[in-house]
Amino acid sequence: MLFPTSRAANECRAYITRRQAIREEASRVIVKVIQDSENHLAIHVAFFPPELWKLAKSFWQHTGMGISSRYAEACLSIDPHVVMVATRSDIDHDSV
């Protein structure tokens, strides 16, 4: 699931973790950032197992924290050769 900020992606992860009865599955929710420093664009991605889709969709649907269609369109123009993917620990402290 795509988010414009690390805060939103991490809130999605926390939402899933708080509501998931099976903690092993919730611990498999990973947040990464894909960044194009040349164009100052970043997409924060929450990865999760398919069985957690309903929880993630609920967060996305009720918070409005997902990326906008305009931002998604801009991100589609990111050149894959200049993309940097950060680890979760890199963005846990990110204030974007």
Q: Mutual orientation of helices 6-19 and 53-63 as an angle, nearest 10°?
A: 130
Residue 33 CB contacts under 8 Å (≥ 6 apart), including other chains: 6, 9, 42, 43, 44, 45, 85, 86, 90, 91, 94, 96
Average pLDDT over residues 42-65: 89
pLDDT band at residue 21 using 50, 70 and 90 as cut-offs: low
Rounded distance between C-alpha atoms, residue 66 and residue 77, angstroms: 18
Which of 48, 68, 45 lies closest to 56 in space, CA to CA?
48
Domain definitions of the chain by residue range: 2-92
pLDDT band at residue 38 using 50, 70 and 90 as cut-offs: confident
- What pLDDT is stored for residue 73 in this prediction? 83
Show the tokens assigned to 85: 């993917």
Alpha helices for 2-81 (secondary structure H): 6-19, 23-26, 53-63, 69-76
